[in-house]
Amino acid sequence: MKTLQNIVILILLFALAPDAFAQKRIEGIVSDFNTKQRISKVTIRNTRTNEEVFNNSKGEFSIMADKGDALIATSREYYPDTVIVNTSLVILFHLKRESIYIDEVSVVAKKDPDEILKKARNDYEKAFRLSDPGDLFSVGQNGAGLSINSIYSLFSREAKNAKRLKKLIESDYKDNVIEYKFSEQLVSRTTGLEGEELNKFRRIFKPSYFFIISCTQYELTNYIKECYEKYQKNPSRYFIEPLPTINPILVP
Per-residue pLDDT averaged across 82-94, rounded? 88
Which domains are present in the chain? 2-168 (2.60.40.1120)
Question: Is the model's pLDDT at 34 over the cut of 90?
Answer: no
Question: Is the model's pLDDT at 71 over the cut of 90?
Answer: yes
Per-residue pLDDT averaged across 95-117, rounded? 61
The CA distance from 44 to 51, in Å, is: 8
Contact 75, 44 (CB under 8 A): no
Q: What percent of the chain has pLDDT over 70?
A: 63
Write b or e for each residue in 126-136: b if 16 or more Cβ atoms lie within 10 A of its Cβ, otherwise e. ebbebbebeee
3-state class (DSSP) for residue 52: strand
pLDDT, tens digit, 9 for 90 and up, residues 186-233: 999 999 999 888 998 999 999 999 999 888 888 999 999 999 998 888
Per-residue pLDDT averaged across 64-74, rounded? 91
Write b or e for each residue in 101-124: b if 16 or more Cβ atoms lie within 10 A of its Cβ, otherwise e. eeeeeeeebeeebeebbeebeebb
Query: Is 203 or 111 the better-scoring residue by pLDDT?
Result: 203
pLDDT band at 99 (very low <50, low <70, confident <90, very high): low
Tell me the sheet residues that pair with 82. Answer: 72
Tell me the sheet residues that pair with 29. Answer: 60, 92
Q: Which amino acid is at 152?
A: Y
Question: Is the model's pLDDT at 248 over the cut of 80?
Answer: no
The CA distance from 158 to 149, in Å, is: 13
Write the DSSP assignment of 65-106 as a string of letters. --TT-EEEEE-TTB--EEEE--S-SEEEEEEPBSS----HHH
Per-residue pLDDT averaged across 48-52, rounded? 90
pLDDT, tens digit, 9 for 90 and up, residues 122-174: 766 666 665 555 443 444 444 444 444 544 444 456 666 667 777 777 888 88
